[in-house]
Amino acid sequence: MNCQVIPMDPDERVTVMAELRARQEYVVHAAGREDFCVIQAGGGTPEHPTIEITADNADAVDRAICECMQAAADFWAANH
């Protein structure tokens, strides 16, 4: 999956978050950081094909997406 870091100026944060929520994006933050968030920007490449989501695996796939996005946010917070 592809994660995208969305930088946010403090005075634009409310507007950016409202737009992301209106688009029904998953939004993840790193603890103590309000200068960026991470969203899912897509997924699947020829080397890493997409996963078929079914009724049986939907919860596990959702958890995996959220965990991956949180890891991306934590990595960005620690390294940028």
Domain count for the chain, please give it.
Answer: 1
Task: Collect all residues with Cβ–Cβ distance below 8 Å to 31 and sequence separation of at least 6.
Answer: 77
Containing structural domain, residue 20 = 2-79
Q: Is the dihedral of CA 13, 19, 22, 25 positive or negative?
A: negative
**What would the mean pLDDT of 10-37 be, rounded to a whole number?**
93
pLDDT of residue 48: 74
State the pLDDT at residue 1.
77
For the entire predicted model, the pTM comes to 0.82
pLDDT in tens, 52-76: 899 999 999 999 999 999 999 999 9
pLDDT at 41 over 90: no
Average pLDDT over residues 24-46: 89
